[in-house]
Amino acid sequence: MKEHFIEKIKMQGPISISEYMTDNNIAPIQGYYNLDNTIGKSGDFITSPEISQVFGELIGLYHTNYWHLCKNPKKPLFIELGGGNGTMMKDALRAISKVDKHLRNIITPIFIETSKNLKQKQKANIPEALIYEDLHKIPNHFIQLTANEFFDALPIKQFIKINDKWHERLIDIDPNNNEKLRFIASKKPTKYIKFFPNISNKIKIFEFCSSAINLIIDISNKIKLFGGIAIIIDYGLNTDDHYGSLQAVKKHKYINPLDEPGFIDLSARVNFDTLKKTALQNDMNVYGPIKQNKFLKNLGIDIRFKQLIKNNPNIKKEINSSYDKLMSENEMGGLFKVMIITKKFSPAPDEFPNA
């Protein structure tokens, strides 16, 4: 992948960070998500479903409850954006089958996935699942959608403030080392910034993700037409992220985002304010965002973990460690946010009293 980027830059000049992220993550052959064993303890990063089965179970029960609140719509679709190895979907469907066999029998599991490698793993975990590469291609029915650590992998653009003017941050070849990439600023100030009039003076590197906005619009339009709910769970952009949030992870450690393209998980924290504003402008109800630990506590995670420890006292330490990872303020519990989207005049989801 590094050779690919160097050749591309030689031919067309410096490239945007969004182009770099897209190629790194989902290039058909050499893209990161086509590698084996990227997700999990033995991979590069770990997601909530891989930490504990409880996460997926609670998501499944939450969707079941909302389906009942909506008076049991016919032919519901259980959709996961991305989906990783299929772990969350498997745990969620197992929980649904225990509390509502009828729903489990009529629900259609669907993954939205582009990685050939992950498609195979998802199909192995849920053989009856349908897999699409595009949300537009799914059937037209009631939607129960979850996006867990999906939006953070969408490609962003960055703009850097130099002498009170905004320039797009680009990627070029290091003139001192033709085998190395480096960040540069565009020679001329960008014209894009006029579309973002309220950037705080504290922000030195501003991030924008058009893919996230377009996806929220697509999800909102589907729910408007056919009903449903979307749960978005992800790293939230902090108010003190003044220098951007682009990051690269390999073997559970942060590394330079330009060092090993094709072998790193590239992501950026999600601007939930932008997602919420987009959904509201599309005439949707929006609940949250709230912290993941508050959301899971409201769903009864403490009770479920006590049951796990009671049934598996010999691995109590490992279970408690998983709980801390999901709930600690310094871990996913505080760093992750949860936001829910529904259509106007539909039932309010539990644990979110105000739209």
Name the pLDDT band for 201 (thresholds 50, 70, 90): confident
Are the beta carbons of 8 and 15 closer than 8 angstroms?
yes
**Count of structural domains within the chain:** 2
Q: Are residues 229 and 93 in the same domain?
A: yes
Distance of CA 279 to the CA centre of its chain: 16
CATH number of the domain residue 310 falls in: 3.40.50.150
Segment 195-222 shows an average pLDDT of 92
The interaxial angle of helices 2-12 and 17-26, nearest 10 deg, is 140
Q: What is the pLDDT of residue 106?
A: 98
DSSP 3-state assignment of 58?
Answer: helix
Amino acid making up residue 204: K
Is 61 in the same domain as 131? yes
Q: Same domain for 174 and 97?
A: no
pLDDT one-digit tens code per residue, 71-97: 999 999 999 999 999 999 999 999 999
Q: Is the pLDDT of residue 269 over 60?
A: yes
121 and 48 inside one domain: yes
Enumerate residues 6+ apart whose C-beta is below 8 A from 232: 147, 150, 151, 270, 272, 275, 338, 339, 340, 341
Across all residues in the chain, what is the average pLDDT?
Answer: 93
Q: How confident is the model at residue 355 (pLDDT cuts 50, 70, 90)?
A: very low
- State the average pLDDT over residues 16-45: 83
The residues with which 131 forms a beta bridge, in sequence order, are 111
Domain that holds residue 257: 1-30+157-208+237-270
DSSP assignment of 102-149: HHHHH-EEEEE---HHHHHHHHHH-TT-EEES-GGGS-SS-EEEEEES
The three-point CA angle 27-233-297 to 5° equals: 150
Is there a single domain that holds both residue 133 and residue 181?
no
Same-domain pairing of 140 and 76: yes
What pLDDT shows up at residue 239?
78
Same domain, 105 and 218: yes
Q: Same structural domain for residues 110 and 77?
A: yes
Asked if residue 196 has pLDDT above 90, the reply is no
Instruction: Find tokens 């130099």 and name the residue.
Output: 162
Is there a single domain that holds both residue 15 and residue 128?
Answer: no
Is the same domain home to 316 and 292? yes
Q: Which residues contact 7 (CB under 8 A, 6 or more apart)?
A: none
Is residue 244 within 8 Å of residue 17, measured between CB atoms?
no
User: What's the mean pLDDT in 240-252?
Assistant: 90
Same domain, 312 and 342: yes
Q: Indicate whether 10 and 133 sit together in one domain.
A: no
The pLDDT of residue 42:
65
d(CA 147, CA 233): 6
Mean pLDDT of 276-281: 97
Of residues 355 and 290, more confidence is placed in 290
pLDDT for residue 353: 54
d(CA 172, CA 154): 21
